[in-house]
Structure formats: C-alpha cells, structure tokens
Amino acid sequence: MTDFIEKDDVNYPELLRNITSPPKKLYYKGDINLLKSPSLAVVGSRDLTEYGRHIEKIFVNHVARRGVTIVSGLARGADSVAHKEALDVGGKTIGVLGGGFGKISMLNDVKLYERIINEGGLVISEYENNILFLSKNFPVRNRIIAGLALGTLVVEAKHRSGSGITAKFSKKFGRKTFALPRKTG
C-alpha cells in the first residue's frame, strides 16, 4: 500500500515546499519522518571508478553516521553506492523514484528498494502508481532530490548529465554543492 502527503500537509518537508514547482503530492513507502531530517543529496556517475566509489563510501559513511539522511535516486552507480553505504553504517536514506510505485519492477535494483524500506528508510515519488520510469521523468525527479537536501554531493559526473541537472537545481535553490571529480592520471 502506498500512502501520500500533499503540499499543505504538516509532514511535507519545508525545504521542498519552498522550491520552484514543488510536487503537489508525494507518494511514499517507509518512514515519512525522514522528510524532516537534515539530509544530503548524493548523485553521480553510473560508471564510477574504484577511486570514486572508495571516496564516496568514506564521505557517505562519515555523514550518515552523524545522523544526516542520504537522498539519492536509486540508480546504478553513485546513487546505489550512497544508499547502500548509508544503510551499511546504520544510517538513513531516502530514494526518489522517477516513476510510480506500481512500476517498481522497472528499477535496476529492486532488492535495494526493498532494503531501504525494510531498514527504516523512505522511498518517495511524485508520480502516480501507473507511471512508467521514463527518461523524461528523471530531470523532473532531480529537482526533488536537490530540493529535499541542505546540499548536494556530485561524484564523478559528466558535465551534461542528470547529476549536473541536480547540481543546477541545488544551486538554484540556494543550497551548497560539492563535487568529487574523476581522478585523472
């Protein structure tokens, strides 16, 4: 069963309410109270280097152990590393979907989705249950990732990427943006 909250609900996150075009509804599964916790968005390359994966894990480990909720998009690469590392250290995480809960089978990692919910995390979407995970949904979804967080860490992302879109939203919303560039040489 998927629940939802509306923009005027007391549980709707204030940071998200104050962005450009906040979602009118958020469908969710898991601990809705995480929407009120201090959070950091972590996004990046789907093809991380070993260096990027290692440094991201250290960073997320450090932040999650201190009670900061990690927000990401449940995609392969930096997103899944962020969610898994937060859970591995007993931290909390929020996954933001680019489609509806009725189409979860389209996710690359359904087990990670289930783990987030089963270990006290939260998964949200602005899309109704029957909405497919389509590429056009992901840039729109990225505004939610940036909008929920106090800042965004971008890991090894290319200039023109979904992570770059998230970073632009973070800047537009007046949030901090950090980058871990790909190591060269």
Tens-place pLDDT, residues 81-115: 999 999 999 999 999 999 999 999 888 899 999 99
Q: What average pLDDT does the structure give for the chain?
A: 94
Residue 51: pLDDT band by 50, 70, 90 thresholds?
A: very high
pLDDT at 185 over 70: no
Whether the model clears a pTM of 0.75, i.e. scores above it, the answer is yes
What is the distance, to the nearest Å, from the Cα of residue 27 to the centroid of all Cα atoms in its chain? Answer: 14
Coil vs helix vs strand at 168:
helix
- Angle among Cα 34, 40, 42 to the nearest 5 degrees reads 115
Tens-place pLDDT, residues 13-46: 999 999 999 999 999 999 999 999 999 999 999 9
CATH value of 3-180 in 3.30.390.30, 3.40.50.450, 3.30.1340.10, 3.30.160.70: 3.40.50.450
Tokens of 128: 């109704």
Give the strands of the sheet with 122-125, arranged side by side: 3-6, 25-30, 122-125, 93-96, 69-72, 39-44, 151-155, 176-180
pLDDT at 183 over 80: no
